[in-house]
Structure 1
Amino acid sequence: MNELVRDIAVPKNWDRRGLPGWCYHSDALLELEKEHVFRSHWQIACHVSDVPEPGSYVTFDMVGERILVLRDKEGRVRAFNNVCRHRGSRLVTAEAGHCRGALVCPFHGWVYNLDGTLRGPSRPDSFPPLDKHEFALAGIETEVWLGFVFIRLKPGPQASVAETMSPFEAELSHYQSGEMIPAGGFWGHESPVNWKSVRDVDNEGYHVAMAHPSLQDLYGSSYFDEPFVAGVCRSFATYNPHAGRRWSVRQYRAVAPEATHLPAELRQAWIYYGLFPNNVIAVTPESVQFYQEFPITRSRTQLRGAIYRYRDEGRGQRLARYLAARIDRDTMAEDVQLTVWSNEAMTSRAFAGFYLSDLEYGVRSHHDHLRAVLPVMTLDEAPEEEGMAETNARMSNRI
């Protein structure tokens, strides 16, 4: 166990209760989460290789906002609201693509430069003079860290991504993620649960032995989670000595070349790095990926992610990456079912709340982060929906 792990321990006599069930089925709470959890914290938008040249862009939607990430003529990666300043149309509708020198609104033909400034409206004589900066696209705070492009919709409590993720930078730097390229497009999946149910499952490995036979075969005996501390967490595992009972695992171990580009302690490791509230960067010897979830409604969640590979990937790495993706695909399907079962129980009279194992302290510490942002979540009983925001503001000493 490395130095980072030895410094983190589960406190004695900690409260084993998680969030109360009402927090998973409240429309009013979801609106507070959108504003104070999702819009105010860093989110992974894409990787720099997704926008490789000037005019390349990526789009996605989150919590009612439309995001556009593009590379400008100077090579800088920028982010804007994908909203025309004229009538609010989407400027680009594809998930990813390339525009030649400018963004042209498909509604009325307004044109924007790649730095977001207004080049001009169509039929300019029908408008008074328009200042190119006053009518520029609304910019979004952006930071690039180890090749990943992060955005933040409004100022929030987190420091820069580099400062927040600094406990893991040295370890993750060995993978040279900034030099990787896409292994395919973005993937997405809509799940019929509250977003926190997705995060609850992902924040603990206690269920791996029972629910994930492939992961248990590959690395179950060594897997351990670290709790959320200052907005970040980490899960670490190395291959079991006799892994190979499952077909995908057996083939993966057979074809994967020795990862000599990595330090010895990482050559047989799968590692997951979490950034509050909902981002994960996962590494294997062959690839790096990110995944996250965004609430659509209180009972619908959008999962999103992408995988990146080494530019000079060999045949063995390619086959290993394919097999690792098969293992991940099965794992996600198993997790989706677990989240459905857990989420639907929250409305049952038989559900008396969580009672967490020491191995689930990652769940508790993530819930503690949520309570710190939204103290209304400390209440055992739900306040009235109409008064949710006022109750939370009073508890936060905001009014």
Structure 2
Amino acid sequence: MTAAGKPIAVPNDWDRRGLPGWTYHSKALFELERREVFLTHWQVAGHVSDVPAPGDWLTFDLLGERALIIRGRDGAVRAFHNLCRHRGARLADGASGHCKSAMVCPFHGWVYNLDGTLRGAARPESFGDMDRAAFGLKLVEMEIWHGFLFLRFLPGPQPAVARLMQPFDADFSTYRAEALLPTEMPGGQTATLPVNWKSVRDVDNEGYHVAMAHPALQDLYGRSYRDIVYPGGISHSHGEFGETGGRLWSVRNYLKLTPRPEHLPPRLRRSWTYYGLFPNTVFAFTPEGAQYYHDIPLTKDETRLAGRMYRQPEENRVTRAARYLAARIDRATSVEDRQLSIWSNESMKSTAFDDFHLSDLEYGVRAHHDVLRRLLPVTRLSEAPEEDRIAALNEDLRSAGANPS
């Protein structure tokens, strides 16, 4: 997969079908997605401001893999596999925390320094001639870009984060993303849905449904909303506001209070902007704050929605109120999207489901599906193969470079 360049123009004549319905409910395909999509592609686990002091830590779990991100005594932020080298116990339990000078395994008491090196094993004489240097915590690949922490459990096709996200570098700079500070996630943002992860992405990857399904967003920015797709699995969407709107209480008061930061260019001062990263992450910026959210697959039929919210360091009371109202609007939108994801996902099981027929305004869905088709060519098959043949057939199609319809 190459780095992104210029936006993709929607072709005049393109195949408007999406992925076939069977791909949303196949256990064998989900296992391929685990190994070849999620574990090999960049995932966002937080921001450097989430671990401000030595000993502060975060955890990130994904499909059987566990990461521990911790700031060392030298100030460096590192990512490790969250497992003790003795018997694999989880070192850190919970989403975040702090340790004074070392991580201690709760199973047998092995002690690790904040840089991941093994300080000592309990009852060291019982291990014979053990080389402590060989039993430090295992590193997880991590890159920091504009303050955000990107992890990858296995080597994969995406380039370095800075190269991949280069089209958005100027925007993240002007939003001062590196200086963001964490704030609490309002209730209702985190949830577990009984759907395949792709159904969540399908809803989020297009703005065609905004006018019908999202009254608050339609009231805020209406027809100004645009989706822009880039090669390489990234996208940019934005909606401008202020010229009209204000029928709903949250929107009306938000428009009164939202700041117009001078450090932002005019196009971003009155805009909500979204930056998508394949396979499952979105960064969202408003004039008063920022967040990222992602859909974490748990099983083929279960997906956890999660993320983190941030504020600017110089926030005042008016800006804080605007950020509250923005979160209120976003929370209602999230609830609406959850129902759409459930309806969409259940339709895939119906014998009456007969492919998608996508609008030009839904080209982001097609672009996301195209990346999956390149990674997993078996998803190009319109009819479901036998479950026990999917992995082998995928490899055959990859090796042959076939492009079945």
Considering the TM-score relative to the shorter chain, is it more than 0.5? yes
TM-score, normalisation: structure 1: 0.96
Cα shift readout 1:234-268 (whole Å, capped 9, x = no counterpart): 00110051210111100101112222221112100
**Amino acid in the other structure paired with 2:286:** T
1:166 corresponds to: 166
Paired residue secondary structure (1:328): helix
Distance 1:129 1:50 in 2: 39
Q: Could you tell me how far 1:230 is from its partner in structure 2?
A: 1.5
1:130 corresponds to: 130
Distance 1:285 1:5 in 2: 26
Distance 2:221 2:137 in 1: 47
Q: Which runs of 5+ in 2 are unaligned?
A: none
Distance 1:270 1:32 in 2: 35
The answer on whether the counterparts of 1:222 and 1:240 sit within 8 Å (CA) in structure 2 is no
Q: Could you tell me how far 1:60 is from its partner in structure 2?
A: 2.4
Q: Which runs of 5+ in 1 are unaligned?
A: none
The answer on whether the counterparts of 2:258 and 2:322 sit within 8 Å (CA) in structure 1 is yes
Distance 2:373 2:262 in 1: 43
1:76 corresponds to: 76
Paired residue secondary structure (2:320): helix
Cα shift readout 1:3-49 (whole Å, capped 9, x = no counterpart): x9995420111100000000000000000001100000000010000
1:218 corresponds to: 220
Paired residue secondary structure (1:214): helix
Identity %: 57
Distance 2:7 2:101 in 1: 51
Query: 1:398–1:291: structure 2 CA closer, same or farther, 3 Å change rule?
Result: farther
Cα shift readout 1:341-364 (whole Å, capped 9, x = no counterpart): 000010101111111000000000
Matched, 1:338 2:329: no
Q: Could you tell me how far 1:88 is from its partner in structure 2?
A: 1.4
2:153 corresponds to: 153
**Amino acid in the other structure paired with 2:375:** V
Cα shift readout 1:259-278 (whole Å, capped 9, x = no counterpart): 22211121001000011111
**Amino acid in the other structure paired with 2:49:** S
Deviates more, 1:125-134 or 1:76-85: 125-134
1:380 corresponds to: 382
2:207 corresponds to: 205
Q: Could you tell me how far 1:183 is from its partner in structure 2?
A: 1.2
Cα shift readout 1:148-193 (whole Å, capped 9, x = no counterpart): 0000101100100000000110122101011111012596311110
Query: 1:150–1:7: structure 2 CA closer, same or farther, 3 Å change rule?
Result: closer
The answer on whether the counterparts of 2:225 and 2:238 sit within 8 Å (CA) in structure 1 is yes
- Number of residue equivalences: 396
1:93 corresponds to: 93
Deviates more, 1:182-191 or 1:296-305: 182-191
Distance 1:185 1:212 in 2: 21
Query: 1:5–1:93: structure 2 CA closer, same or farther, 3 Å change rule?
Result: closer
The answer on whether the counterparts of 2:23 and 2:379 sit within 8 Å (CA) in structure 1 is yes
The answer on whether the counterparts of 1:273 and 1:281 sit within 8 Å (CA) in structure 2 is yes
Paired residue secondary structure (2:190): strand
Runs of 4+ in 1 over 4 A off after TM superposition: 4-7
**Amino acid in the other structure paired with 1:283:** F
1:245 corresponds to: 247
Query: 1:373–1:192: structure 2 CA closer, same or farther, 3 Å change rule?
Result: same
Q: Which structure 2 residues correspond to residues 183-194 of structure 1 after superposition, within 5 A? A: 183-184=183-184, 188-194=190-196
Distance 1:228 1:278 in 2: 15
Query: 1:235–1:267: structure 2 CA closer, same or farther, 3 Å change rule?
Result: same
Distance 2:126 2:86 in 1: 13
Q: Could you tell me how far 1:61 is from its partner in structure 2?
A: 1.2
Cα shift readout 1:83-128 (whole Å, capped 9, x = no counterpart): 1111111101121111111100011101111111111111111112
Distance 2:400 2:74 in 1: 42
Query: 1:381–1:297: structure 2 CA closer, same or farther, 3 Å change rule?
Result: same
**Amino acid in the other structure paired with 1:118:** L
TM-score, normalisation: structure 2: 0.95
Aligned pair partner of 1:227 in 214, 226, 229: 229
Query: 1:145–1:6: structure 2 CA closer, same or farther, 3 Å change rule?
Result: closer
The answer on whether the counterparts of 1:25 and 1:299 sit within 8 Å (CA) in structure 2 is yes
The answer on whether the counterparts of 1:290 and 1:306 sit within 8 Å (CA) in structure 2 is yes
1:397 corresponds to: 399
Distance 2:275 2:166 in 1: 11
The answer on whether the counterparts of 1:51 and 1:71 sit within 8 Å (CA) in structure 2 is yes
1:328 corresponds to: 330
Paired residue secondary structure (1:137): coil
Distance 1:358 1:398 in 2: 31
Aligned-residue CA RMSD (Å): 1.7
Distance 1:352 1:120 in 2: 61
Paired residue secondary structure (1:154): coil
2:57 corresponds to: 57
The answer on whether the counterparts of 1:111 and 1:119 sit within 8 Å (CA) in structure 2 is yes
